[in-house]
Amino acid sequence: MRRTRQKDRDRPGPQSPWDEVAPGLWMGGHYWTDPAGELRPVVVGSEFDLVISLYTQPGHGPDPQMEHLFAEIPDGPLTSAELREVQELARSGVAALDRGLTVLVRCHCGYNRSGLVVAQVLVERGVPVGEAVALVRRRRSVRALSNDAFVSYLSAGLDVAALLVGLDPLG
């Protein structure tokens, strides 16, 4: 049985299945809210060259022949290993974009985890952190990157954040 977090119930779903944050770089989730206010599933087929998932659910795609990278990343404090995984996923996104491919980064709602990876892709491509966060929020939703820890990780730099988290005996 899938548990729904309280903050997911209190937060309206995104108004589109996915949004283009920068040329070729898309951000989305597994659900969206249609104009009538109904929650709809997002099923990815073969619309993108690379799909990076930080959450996955059966029946939501992508098509089996598509390139699909998956890492189970929580929408909460991350370990050093999880931060390094985010870096690797972002680098894969950068490499795909540099080859002229389209990339979709998705999580459950398409707000935080996908926002972290998309913002890191932008940072890796030379966009300052503040601009990357603002762009994600402007193009996807004002609710994107509402996880303050994720914004802090980006602000510190993921390398530094991974080192600092690694020093914490609980992290």
* pLDDT-based confidence at residue 6 (cuts at 50, 70, 90): very low
Better pLDDT: 160 or 9: 160
pLDDT in tens, 63-120: 999 999 999 999 999 999 999 999 999 999 999 999 999 999 999 999 999 999 999 9
pLDDT in tens, 13-31: 899 999 999 999 999 999 9
CA angle 164, 68, 27 (to 5 degrees): 70
DSSP secondary structure letters along 14-37: PSSSEEEEETTEEEE-SEEE-TTS
161-56-137-23 Cα dihedral, nearest 10 degrees: 100
Query: Who's near 16: CB < 8 A, 6+ residues apart?
Result: 28, 32
Instruction: Give the count of alpha carbons within 13 A of 35, CB side only.
Output: 0
Decide: pTM greater than 0.85: yes
Report pLDDT for 168.
Answer: 66
Query: Is residue 11 pLDDT above 90, yes or no?
Result: no
